[in-house]
Structure 1
Amino acid sequence: MLRAFFAFLLLVLTGLSAPAKAQELQTLLQKHADEVAKPGRQTVSVVINDLMLSGLPQVQVFLERWQAREVVQDTATGLFYYEGDPVTDVDSGEAVDLGDADLDAIKPNGGVRKAIGGALVQFQLSDPDSAKRREALDAIARAPSGDQIAPLEASLAGETDPDILLRKQGVVDMLKARYGETTKIRVAAIENLAGGLSVEARATLNQILTTSAGVGTEIPENANIARILTPGTDLTEVEAYGRLVDAGLATARISNAAIKEALAANIVGGAVAGIPVHDLDTLERRFEAYTALADQGLVPPTVTDDAAAEILAAHSFFETYAEQDPEVTAAAARVLDSIERNVALNQTADLALDALSLASIYFLAAIGLAITFGVMGVINMAHGEFIMMGAYTGYVMQQLIPDYTLSLIVALPVAFAVTFGAGVAMERLVIRWLYHRPLETLLATFGISIALQQLAKNIFGTQARPLTSPGWLDGALVVNEVVQISYIRIAIFVLALIFLGLILFILNKTRLGLEVRAVTQNPGMAASMGINPDRINMLTFGLGSGIAGIAGVAIGLYAKVTSEMGADYIVQSFMTVVVGGVGNVWGTLAGASMIGTLQKGIEFLNPSNTLAAQTYMILFIILFIQFRPKGIVALKGRAAEA
């Protein structure tokens, strides 16, 4: 008691000597000491309201610490402090030495903490930290209520971040759409949602348009009817009759199995209700016997088909909106239809961007193979390994040059040089001896691909190696809530365009391109004009391999870099070349576009099974080749003859 007296005396003296405002929060807490110490869901709202109305700057900190269970109470004096060693004052935040005072930890339950969190949202909406303001908006969207409209609108004037301001205005409209005071306010808020594509806006409108099934002898006059259902069209007759039974408006019908069981249980002298058992071989006779038993009170009565039809005809089936205001539901339905159409259009645009991105990847992977196959007629199964070599070259450059941007710039020409040299060596050592022998060429290049994979495993190991993109390629270009594309995919698309222009320039504007086209069209005539087909074959194979190496650097930024990564693209590369037209740059572009669009379209229709999508795509391509064996853009010359 003596200790408590001195503590009280200290509190009085401190209150007399300090400014009055310094103790305002503690004084307010003492007014509700019992509710603060042992808060309940029913009583905490009173405490929170008084704290919010006080306007004290210390309230936000107290609510945060209270919610986090970091408030303690001195059992002797009843004063509240923030947990710590030593404890701190709730008003000044300064440390307080209470000696060996007995402190009781305040532990609000989940319901109380949720209520405190709702109050904190109002502070967080104007918090200097933009992350906390976003968290507050997320919290409101998860648990919306009408009392959040006022603090949200009050925070709009001081909002400096344009993105958060736009989000706040959207959340205000969503809240007003559901909890607005008048029909005019709600309809106006719903109309404001028409331009958005967010999931939250659609969820709000769907909640307004929530319906429940109803049935009765007539349509209720005061109900907000969503639609009237016709048995046999909008719902089956069995389902409709089941609704009548559930509503207590009809007797449940007896199933055929139950009728058989009842008849079997009432066989007397080889007959049921006077009908011989051997005559009960049709549904009509069994139903007749069952009706006779029901007339005798031996089994529950049943309902005939005609009677069931009459009962259905005598009742109306409908769906009613939970929202009673028809103007609100009409506006919500109209706006939701508009949003769904916009979402569908944007999903189509997003799918088109994905298809374009995938097509650019396939084009980069296949363009080198298209040149090689078109000029030389060589089926190079090791083409995917040149892609892999390019990706690993990019990885090595990043180990040597820490700057990711600089290492990427250096990696592109180095990858071309490495894979160009490897391609020339492969052509000189293996391919040149196997011209016009496609089976042997296929087997030889397949063996080389396996050897290159094993060599990569021996050098780099079996784990995937990171090929990190520069910081300026992080993230995505976000057009809206539906349409977005990563910067890496955009970079690969731009690189594909650059290579398209570069290949067209080489083939159409340079001497090498002229000689390549001459050898492609007529190698014998080209040789008679002084062109060395053997040299052109070597340079062409090296060029195709070098382009594959550059493609590997680009693909490595997007996909994992492993020794098997080439196998992931060799099949698509061959399909791209064959479908587009062997040896034709424009054909390769058309083939990549077709396959990329087809694959993304199938994946969109069947997103849960990518293997099935691949299977459907291959089947479609097989059918396509049956009707157009030379591809989209047929090539004349040696490649066409092959």
Structure 2
Amino acid sequence: MLRILLMALAVYLAIPNGATAQTLQSILQTHADEVAKPGRRTVGVLLDDLVASALPQAVPFLEAWRDREIVQREEDGLFLRQLGGDLLDLDTGEVIGTTEGSALTESRPNGGVRRAIGDVLVQFQLSDPVIEKRQAAVDAIARSMDSSQLAPLAASIADEADATLRARKERLVGLLRASFAPTTAERIEAIANLGSDLSVDTRAVLNNILATEAGVAAEFPEGSNIAAILTPGIDLTEADAYAQLVDAGLAPPVISPSEIRQALVANIVDEKVGGLQVATLGTQDARAAAYQALAAAGTVPTLVTPADQAAALEDHVFYLSYIEPDKEITDAARSSLDAIETKVAFSQAADLGLDALSLASIYFLAAIGLAITFGVMGVINMAHGEFIMMGAYTGYVVQLFVPDYTVSIIVALPLAFAVTFGAGVAMERLVIRHLYHRPLETLLATFGISIALQQLAKNIFGTQARPLTSPSWLDGALVFNDVVAISYIRIAIFVLALIFLALIVYVLRRTRLGLEVRAVTQNPGMASSMGINPDSINMMTFGLGSGIAGIAGVAIGLFAQVTSEMGQAYIVQSFMTVVVGGVGSVFGTLAGAGLIGGLQKGIEWLNPSNTLAAQTYMILFIILFIQFRPKGIVALKGRAAAD
């Protein structure tokens, strides 16, 4: 703003005493032809005068001119703004007439002029008091990346009050200087400063500096900035190489068999062509000989043989040259881009690791309850996914009555545990305890229960997905750089998984219930002889595993769709996690979740376009893994291991 005020003061002081102050209309009348019939080559002088005038009414005029709202009134030659049926004065903005009965000539700037107007508007808007307009101007510069924007953008940084926008301007100035700074030293310095920026637009600027074009010549052009030397037959096909020679006018074109035939037909005289009887031209070699005779007489172009093509390729060099002629600049750009690509590769590996860790924490939460029930009781519970679904729906119902999302999640976690714990105990008392040591019947029974629970959920909540909204403090993501980022919800689930790991380890290692569970797991007969009731332990264990699945459902529902079928998406992975990790082992489940999560993300990274194939490869790998280690990563002794 200070710069604009100084410019306005200079204009004011330049006016002679007694002269009329400069107006927008006076500037437009000076360049009346350019306003009435604007052209890209002639409009620059008018735009420069408007910028130099620093008149506040220049901005609305430029916006109206760009939008083709400027007209010239023929009776007095004044330029006015046509808005609806009114004519507005360009200096005051007041209505001074109507379009009715007025002879008007519309100014219609073409696309090139409108782009030039847009560039000038950006210069005005960079120091506009409204931050939204300044942000729009910076966005426009980022899209166009034109050398004319470097100076006004750099000049606007000092007066920028918003710290975030100032940082954007400074970064954008660095990108512009790398491409358009006036001296080689300034460009190299700017390029070197980009070596730590992993953003896509930075890589785009460096790649633009390193853009190449193909070339061919008898010898390398003096002073050219060669990027690579191409060898025909290796770096490009011999046909493509010879085509480059033809396009460059360095070799005659290859005559195709059809063109040979057409030339022979066009030169038949007395049943002969090239001194040969037409009847003898039944082979390709005979036609080639006739064509050679015509070429020797100068009737047709010379026939290019394979030997001629090979000789032409041998006599020329093929290369890629940088469009940027300065080798120091391209060397600096290549060095910065190589450094960026190295950092990007490490960042991508870190991002893949975070994704795998996040997925592993989800699988751990989904599988830990199954690990407890399956490990202690040997029960294949196909309804485990439906307990996850019940927990998610519990969270949804809580949010219907508790509008504060933070409080609702705090309430939903223990309530989901209580609901699914009760459902698990009821299922164990009514069904499971009658089917011990009958795995096939247990599998079929729990599978039927899972279908019944899904249908019950559909009857209650419908088939549409229900929202389980996370608190606002879980919105967004933790961003490390332009490549590595992880959402706060995933971080929260990871923390929740760690809390459950510590809690379950404490319960199993430090409480009487844990001692009895471990005793029943390792030797139920001996545990019974020591006064432990295996039947009660089985009931409590099944309820505990189901309750943990309910809590997992609340966590999973924060980022996944809450539907009646959501549990089916995790039941297979949960069983794989338990089996691979080691039946009945908490740390085995943790290891299995890490292995499966990392394996799935790794396969998806190798084959991102086909997630079904990725899951297939993962299952095949697990099958092979179990062949070599059937008891899992962490094998336990006892009933579950023996089964």
Tell me if TM exceeds 0.5: yes
Match of 1:13 in 2: none
Q: How does 1:307-326 map to 2 (within 5 A)?
A: 307-326=308-327
TM alignment of 1:179-194, pairs within 5 A:
179-194=180-195
Partner deviation per Cα, 1:160-183 (whole Å, 9 max, x = no partner): 333332322222122222222111
Alignment match, 2:66: 67
Distance 1:72 1:637, change over 3 A: farther
1:154 is displaced (CA, Å) by 0.3
CA distance in 2: counterparts of 1:154 and 1:200, whole angstroms: 22
Letter in 1 for 2:53: S
Q: Is the alpha carbon distance of 1:567 and 1:258 closer, same or farther for their aligned partners in structure 2, counting shifts above 3 Å?
A: farther
Matched with 1:470 is 471
Cα contact 1:174–1:204 (8 A) shared by 2:
yes
Shift of 1:205: 1.1
* Offset, 1:195: 1.3
Distance 1:322 1:446, change over 3 A: same
Give the Å deviation of 1:641: 0.8
Deviates most, 109-118 or 451-460:
109-118
The aligned length equals 610
Q: Which moved more, 1:108-117 or 1:382-391?
A: 108-117
1:475·1:486 contact (CA, 8 Å) conserved in 2?
yes
CA 1:46 to 1:425, structure 2 compared with 1: closer, same or farther past 3 Å?
same
Give, as a single letter, the amino acid of the residue that structure 2 aligns with 1:28.
I
The whole-number CA distance in structure 2 between the counterparts of 1:487 and 1:194 is 29
**Pair 1:87–1:310, CA change in 2 (3 A):** closer
Alignment-derived partner of residue 559 in structure 1: 560
2:540 equivalent to 1:539: yes
Please list the CA deviations of residues 114-139 of structure 1 after superposition, one character each: whole Å capped at 9, or x if unmatched. Answer: 22211111122233444433332222
1:59–1:369 Cα change, 3 Å: same
* Helix, strand or coil at the partner of 1:625: helix
Q: Quote the residue 1:159 is aligned against.
A: 160
Letter paired with 1:552: G
1:468 partner SS = coil
CA distance in 1, matches of 2:594, 2:315: 59
What percent of counterpart residues are identical?
67
1:419-449 deviation line (CA, Å, top 9, x unaligned): 1111111111111111111111111111111
Structure 1 residue matching 2:319: 3-state secondary structure = strand
The Cα RMSD (Å) is 3.1
Taking a change above 3 Å as real, the CA distance of residues 319 and 414 of structure 1, as seen in their structure-2 partners, is same
Deviates more, 1:345-354 or 1:550-559: 345-354
Residues 482-535 of structure 1: CA distance to partner in whole angstroms, max 9, x if unpaired? 111111111111111111111111111111111111111111111111111111
Q: How far, CA to CA, are the matches of 2:641 and 2:261 in structure 1?
A: 73
**Contact 1:372/1:378, CA 8 A, preserved across alignment:** yes
Deviation at 1:574, TM superposition (A): 1.2
Compared CA separation, residues 250 and 93, structure 1 to 2 (3 A): closer
Q: Which moved more, 1:454-463 or 1:54-63?
A: 54-63
CA gap 1:519/1:127 in 2 versus in 1, 3 angstroms:
farther
Q: How does 1:629-640 map to 2 (within 5 A)?
A: 629-640=630-641
TM-score by length of 1: 0.87
CA distance in 1 between counterparts of 2:470 and 2:199 reads 30
1:558 partner SS: coil
- CA–CA distance in structure 2, aligned partners of residues 195 and 583 of structure 1: 48
Matched residue SS, 2:222 = coil
Partner of 2:4: none
Q: d(CA) in 2 for partners of 1:364 and 1:168?
A: 45
Q: CA deviation at 1:238?
A: 3.7
Which residue matches 2:55?
56
| CA distances 1:439-468 after superposition (whole Å, capped 9, x unpaired) | 111111111111111111100111111111
Residue 476 of structure 1 deviates from its aligned partner by 1.4
- Structure 1 segment 390-429 matched on structure 2, within 5 A: 390-429=391-430
1:291–1:301 Cα contact (<8 Å) kept? no
Cα pair 1:364 1:496 within 8 Å, conserved = yes
Instruction: Tell me, yes or no, if the aligned pair for 1:404 and 1:469 is still in contact at 8 Å.
Output: yes
CA positional deviation for 1:395: 0.7
Counterpart check, 1:202 vs 2:203: yes
Distance 1:369 1:261 in 2: 80
Deviation at 1:93, TM superposition (A): 4.3
- Greater CA deviation, 167-176 or 550-559? 167-176
Alignment match, 2:145? 144
Alpha-carbon distance change, 257 to 47 in structure 1, aligned in 2, over 3 angstroms? closer
For 1:23-38, what aligned pairs fall within 5 Å after superposition? 24-38=23-37
CA distance in 1, matches of 2:288, 2:343: 58
2:31 aligned partner, one-letter code:
H
Q: Is the 8 A contact 2:260 2:288 kept in 1?
A: no
Question: Please, which moves more after superposition, 252-261 or 300-309?
Answer: 252-261
Three-state SS of the structure 2 residue aligned to 1:123 is: helix
TM alignment of 1:454-493, pairs within 5 A: 454-493=455-494
What's the secondary structure of 2:407's corresponding residue?
Answer: helix
Check whether the contact 2:255–2:303 (CA below 8 A) recurs between aligned residues. yes
Q: CA deviation at 1:320?
A: 0.9
Structure 1 spans left out of the alignment, 5+ residues: 1-18, 281-285
Q: What is the correspondence of 1:528-607 to structure 2 with a 5 Å cutoff?
A: 528-607=529-608
Task: Specify whether residues 141 and 531 from structure 1 end up closer, same or farther in structure 2 by C-alpha distance, changes over 3 A only.
Answer: same
1:311/1:28 CA distance change after superposition, 3 Å = closer
How much has 1:336 moved relative to structure 2? 1.0
- Alpha-carbon distance in structure 1 between the residues aligned to 2:636 and 2:303: 76
Q: Deviations over 1:345-396 (max 9, x none)?
A: 1111111111111111111111111111111111111111111111111111
> C-alpha distance in 2, partners of 1:245/1:464?
63
Letter in 2 for 1:533: P
Q: Quote how far apart the aligned CAs of 1:64 are.
A: 2.9
1:420–1:288: structure 2 CA closer, same or farther, 3 Å change rule?
Answer: same
Change (3 A) 1:103 1:611: farther
> In the TM superposition, what are the counterparts of 1:101-500 in structure 2 within 5 Å?
102=102, 104=104, 108-252=109-253, 292-297=289-294, 305-500=306-501
What does residue 10 of structure 1 align with? none
Q: Secondary structure at the match of 2:227?
A: strand
What TM-score comes out, normalization by structure 2 length? 0.87
Equivalent pair of 1:72/1:103 in contact (CA under 8 Å): no
2:213 aligned counterpart, secondary structure: strand
Residues 544, 143 of structure 1: alpha-carbon distance in 2 compared, 3 angstrom cutoff: same
Instruction: Work out the CA distance in 2 between the residues paired with 1:620 and 1:352.
Output: 19
Alignment partners' CA distance in 1, 2:582 and 2:356: 20
CA distance in 1, matches of 2:628, 2:301: 67
Give the 3 Å change call, closer, same or farther, for CA 32–290 of structure 1 in structure 2.
closer
Tell me: CA distance 1:58–1:397, structure 2 relative to 1, closer, same or farther (3 Å).
same
The CA distance in 2 between the partners of 1:491 and 1:72, in whole Å, is: 61
Gaps of 5+ in 2: 1-18
Contact 2:87 2:99 in 1 (8 A): no
Q: Which moved more, 1:154-163 or 1:412-421?
A: 154-163
- Tell me if structure 2 keeps the 8 A contact 1:294–1:300: no
| Equivalent-residue separation in structure 2 for 1:75 and 1:257 (angstroms) | 65
Q: Which secondary structure does the structure 1 equivalent of 2:215 belong to?
A: strand
Of residues 474-483 and 541-550 in structure 1, the stretch that sits farther from structure 2 once superposed is 474-483
